Amino acid sequence: MTEAKTLEGQITVVTGASRGIGKGIALGLAEQGATVYITGRSVGDGELTIDATAREIEALGGVGIPVQTDHTDDEQIAALFDRVRSEASHIDILVNNAFKIPTPPVWGGGFWEHPYTIWDDQVGTGARCHYLACWHAAQMLFDGSGKLIVNVSSPGGLGYHFSTTYGVGKTALDRMTADMAVELEPKGVTSIAVYPGSVATEFIVASNAERKSDLSKSQTPLFVGRSVAALAGTDDHLERSGKVLWIEDLADEFDVYDENGNRPPGYSRRAALTGKEG
């Protein structure tokens, strides 16, 4: 007997879903029957595009709708939600994941050594664009049944990770999540942030050729996605509104496994506070 899909027919928007965690969440929601609007800048026949994510969703028997969107452009964000409004009239779940990794990546060093423009990469794209997405989506969320906003954050909101701007962006996102929860509570809309652990995204795997980290116990993007989908499929997530939820805790609670049949360990609380294990 086939299990019922918990998100059957729900309208969802996942920003930054051409690859990595965003793609994993889009696939996780689609596995549970959701229609997924997929945003990102990369389009076409390549592997790391919103079109490729849509094809994978379709292979699962789901509905994936790619919408090319640069989340540093206010007009493109507005156009995205205008399209959703015209086609679906409401939103059940909004997942804010869009993020811009500076070029070259910032793995440490003093803030004075980095181009000041990385503030716009990691605070602008990492927090401001999520605020704008919520602003556009709010009225449509009020009309939906899912009534859920998920902001993909990081333990960088608790302690030093990578750079000053990275931490500022994630801390701002966590506070925005909590304060929006207060204002959304009368509307019955849940606002939460999630902390994935170490995730083996395409970027991390590629960059690991130099860093030589052990990725064998990393979470996969789909593991994160399935954990988010499991939460979205419950009818009591409003009770968690305003909180930061760890992906490993959700996986334990909802008995989630990745595509390899594993439940990877999470990011230790000590590492979250100090930026290092042990």
Task: Report the catalytic residues.
Answer: 166
φ and ψ of 245, to 5 deg: -115, 130
Q: Residue 219: beta bridge partners?
A: 199
Nearest to 91 by CA among 35, 174, 151, 43: 35
In the block, tokens 């959701």 appear at 34
CA pair distance 163, 111, nearest whole angstrom: 7
- The answer to whether 153 and 174 are in contact (CB under 8 A) is yes
Q: Which helix (H) or strand (E) holds 13?
A: strand 11-14
CA pair distance 162, 155, nearest whole angstrom: 11
Report in angstroms the alpha-carbon separations of 113 from 23, 108, 171, 227. Answer: 32, 10, 22, 37
Say how many residues make up the chain: 278
